[in-house]
Chain A
Amino acid sequence: MTKITFIEPQGAKVEIDVINGWTLMQAATSHGVEGIEAECGGSCACATCHCYVEGEQATRLPAPSNDELEMLDNVAAERLPNSRLGCQIRVTPYLEGLVVRMPEAQS
């Protein structure tokens, strides 16, 4: 398990012990975190699992694939340098303490 903190659009913090190997999207949706839709269920086909990764741990994330970058061009909320698709990031112990902020809108 790896502790990840999600910040919902209204500012509420949700701390989740995520099973390693699960994606940020799966962690958020399975715990009812607000501000994520994840229509396509992780197929990198909908861009409605957009999130902002924060904190020092964010620098340890593998870089986004070309597919993810192309989808990030089309997110509903503002795209920032720390924008990622939650379904493309698998949780590992290296990410302990990562903060994931959910955007205002997904669609």
Chain B
Amino acid sequence: MGDAVIIVGAGQAGLTVAEALRADGWQDEIVIYGAEKHAPYHRPPLSKGYLLGDTPAAQLTIRGPDLFDKKRIEFCAGRPVRAIDPTSLRIELDDGSRRAYCSLVLATGSRPRELAVEGARLDRVVSLRTLEDSATIGTQLQKAENVVVIGGGFIGLEVAAAARKKGCSVIVLEAMDRLLARVASPAISDFFARLHSDHGARIIFNAKVSRLVGEAGVVRTVETADGQSFPADLVVVGVGAVANDELARHAGLACDRGVVVDDCSRSSDPSIFAAGDCTARRLADGALSRLESVQNAVEQAKSAAAALTGRERPFRAAPWFWSDQHGVKLQMAGSSANADQAALRGSLADKNFSLFYLRSGKLIGVDTINRPGDHMLARKLLDHGLSPTIEEVSDEHFDLKSLLATGVPA
């Protein structure tokens, strides 16, 4: 056998590694093992179009079967990898069979964090990660009257929006004092709290879920520590995700809430790379960054493929993300954490604005609402280290694109 690259996990990251390897001229074997029975599919629609029934499952496939043949990629669906042995350079499959690799890429993704309270395993208490999860929630939404969403993060809020659209009564229980607290600025949190309230959802902040109570194994109520109780026919738990890094940990690779990689997707083992939700990326300043986004999966996958073919392609681009709720498109670039100044462009009332965040005068993040042009521009500004002033941002007549023309970092 020649030099096989084995990829564990057939999601956005795993597939992109394979495609990028071929694009980079890799001639030898490429094998992808995926635990799921499906070809790689897009997860974002699972809480958006697919959940609402607007997008059929067939349209979620990232690449059709033709690609695997055309690119000579051996894709093994429904074959979870059970262990890796970095000493003998072998993986072990679910049936105990082994296969040798010359390089290994871990692209195992993440899974929903479980709610650590009594009753979390009752029927109709669900989380959302897979096509099947989304199909189940979609079916339940047809008949559920009272939906309780635990966790006001992106997935929880997107499900809340879908549930309202299906006519369910919706309560969002958020443990913090604002929505999206880990990822968004307070202004964006407030905007979304307003949006969901305007669409009829009830949001309860500082809600600590204490237990779920069921009847005949099916959830009936959600109780919070302050003694309140909320009726529920369906409980959707969206309290974050945990990296699937067990294979790496058992093999002795450095892990810290994810497989630790550098910005070329190299793990602590020279033959093993990792990309996507399963990683924690070491940044230049030593901090670890754990991102769960399509961009992160794609960029880390391309960096891994480059490293495997002997090139350096560090992933240093500003992170970006999007979310669709109630017809509003939020796009985030960079980060608003640690900002000491923010400037508004556009109109909150019209649901058409951008918030630019600066720290010591330097642009560090931009959140846009229904302004894809500003978002794309923000990514360029951030990647080039260019910063508008607060006045330039606030002045809609000032053409922010002109900053790119000067090209010199401020």
- Known A40-B294, A70-B373; judge A45-B331 contact (CB<8 A): yes
Q: Which B residues lie within 8 Å of A39 (CB)?
A: 294-295, 298
In the bound complex, what is the Cα–Cα distance between A85 and B46 (angstroms)?
22
Pair B63/A32 contact, Cβ less than 8 Å: yes
Flag B52-71 by CB within 8 Å of A: 1 or 0 each: 00010011111110111111
Pair B66/A22 contact, Cβ less than 8 Å: no
Is A56 among interface residues, defined by CB-CB distance under 8 A? Answer: no
In the bound complex, what is the Cα–Cα distance between A26 and B55 (angstroms)?
11
Pair A40/B59 contact, Cβ less than 8 Å: no
Q: Which A residues lie within 8 Å of B70 (CB)?
A: 32
- Known A39-B294, A43-B324; judge A32-B64 contact (CB<8 A): yes
Pair B294/A44 contact, Cβ less than 8 Å: no
Is B372 among interface residues, defined by CB-CB distance under 8 A? Answer: yes
Number of interface residues of A (CB under 8 A): 23
In the bound complex, what is the Cα–Cα distance between A43 and B42 (angstroms)?
11
Q: Which B residues lie within 8 Å of A31 (CB)?
A: 64, 66
- Known A31-B66, A32-B66, A41-B60; judge A70-B371 contact (CB<8 A): yes
Interface residue from A22, A23, A67 paired with B372 (Cβ < 8 Å): A67
Is A74 among interface residues, defined by CB-CB distance under 8 A? Answer: yes
Minimal Cβ-Cβ distance residue in B for A44 = B372
Q: Which B residues lie within 8 Å of A38 (CB)?
A: 62
Pair B60/A70 contact, Cβ less than 8 Å: no
Q: Which A residues lie within 8 Å of B376 (CB)?
A: 47, 70-71, 73-74
Is B44 among interface residues, defined by CB-CB distance under 8 A? Answer: yes
In the bound complex, what is the Cα–Cα distance between A51 and B42 (angstroms)?
21
In the bound complex, what is the Cα–Cα distance between A29 and B62 (angstroms)?
7
Minimal Cβ-Cβ distance residue in B for A73 = B373
Is B45 among interface residues, defined by CB-CB distance under 8 A? Answer: yes
In the bound complex, what is the Cα–Cα distance between A73 and B66 (angstroms)?
31
Pair A22/B59 contact, Cβ less than 8 Å: yes
Minimal Cβ-Cβ distance residue in A for B43 = A41
Nearest CB on A from B54, distance (A): 11
In the bound complex, what is the Cα–Cα distance between A87 and B71 (angstroms)?
23
In the bound complex, what is the Cα–Cα distance between A30 and B64 (angstroms)?
4
Q: Which B residues lie within 8 Å of A73 (CB)?
A: 373, 376
Pair A32/B324 contact, Cβ less than 8 Å: no
Pair B66/A43 contact, Cβ less than 8 Å: no
- Known A40-B294, A40-B322; judge A30-B61 contact (CB<8 A): yes
Minimal Cβ-Cβ distance residue in B for A34 = B70
The residues in B between 361 and 377 inclusive whose CB is less than 8 angstroms from any CB of A are: 370-373, 376-377
Q: Which A residues lie within 8 Å of B67 (CB)?
A: 32
Pair B61/A29 contact, Cβ less than 8 Å: yes
Flag A58-86 by CB within 8 Å of B: 1 or 0 each: 00000000010011011000000000000
Identify which of B55, B59, B298, B377 gathers the most chain A CB atoms within 10 Å of its CB.
B59
Q: Which A residues lie within 8 Å of B371 (CB)?
A: 70
Minimal Cβ-Cβ distance residue in A for B48 = A43
In the bound complex, what is the Cα–Cα distance between A39 and B321 (angstroms)?
11
In addition to A29-B63, A40-B294, A74-B376, 13 A-B residue pairs with Cβ atoms within 8 Å of each other are A30-B61, A32-B64, A32-B68, A32-B69, A32-B71, A41-B62, A41-B294, A43-B44, A43-B45, A67-B372, A70-B373, A70-B376, A71-B373
Could you give 26 example pairs across A and B, Cβ below 8 Å?
A: A22-B59, A26-B59, A29-B61, A29-B62, A30-B63, A30-B64, A30-B66, A32-B71, A40-B322, A41-B42, A41-B44, A41-B60, A42-B42, A44-B329, A44-B372, A45-B322, A46-B294, A47-B376, A67-B329, A67-B372, A70-B372, A70-B376, A71-B373, A71-B376, A73-B373, A74-B377
- Which residues of A pack against B, CB within 8 Å? 22-23, 26, 29-32, 37-47, 67, 70-71, 73-74
Question: 6 closest pairs, A vs B, by CB?
Answer: A70-B373, A41-B42, A32-B67, A30-B64, A32-B66, A74-B376
